[in-house]
């Protein structure tokens, strides 16, 4: 039970999974790019979440010396181990929607689901109202 609680402590919250999904789809993003992807997140919250994820070795932060200082974020190898968990959660969620509604869902692509996660909206499953 402790291992499950440890996992939930690391990935819980409104923004951590969407941040991981963004960094899965685009392996390296600046703070501004992440902020643009996660439309409703404030800069203060994004900064705090990235700091937490960096402290937990999920995200790496690299300062690049360009004309202006640029900071890029990416998933660490350890952070990428969460991808399998996220796709398992996605599969369970799709099955759960069918179970609860009693309707067979049409195929939903991972990209559609990830885009919905990125937008922080519940994914729309065709065939289920």
pLDDT in tens, 27-55: 899 999 999 999 899 999 999 999 999 99
Cα–Cα distance, 39 to 96 (Å, whole number): 27
Quote the pLDDT of residue 89: 86
At residue 94 the predicted structure's pLDDT band, cuts being 50, 70 and 90, is confident
Q: For residue range 75-87, what is the model confidence (pLDDT) as tens digits? A: 999 999 998 888 8
Taking CA atoms, 87 is separated from 65, 83, 91, 94, 110, in Å, by 35, 6, 6, 11, 8
Question: Is residue 41 helix, strand or coil?
Answer: coil
Residue 69 pLDDT > 70, yes or no?
yes
Residue 56 pLDDT > 90, yes or no?
yes
Q: For residue range 8-28, what is the model confidence (pLDDT) as tens digits? A: 999 999 999 999 989 998 989
């Amino acid at each position: 039970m402790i291992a499950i609680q440890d996992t939930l402590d690391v990935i819980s919250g409104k923004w951590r999974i969407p941040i991981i999904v963004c960094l899965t789809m685009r392996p390296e993003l600046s703070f501004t790019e992440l902020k643009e992807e996660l439309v409703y997140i404030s800069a203060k919250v994004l900064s705090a979440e990235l700091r937490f994820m960096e402290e937990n070795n999920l995200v790496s932060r690299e300062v690049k010396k360009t004309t202006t200082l640029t900071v890029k974020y990416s998933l660490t190898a350890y952070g990428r181990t969460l991808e399998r968990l996220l796709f398992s959660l996605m599969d369970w969620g799709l099955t759960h929607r069918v179970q609860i509604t009693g309707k067979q869902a049409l195929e939903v692509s991972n990209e559609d689901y990830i885009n919905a996660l990125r937008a922080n909206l519940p994914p729309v499953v065709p065939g289920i109202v």
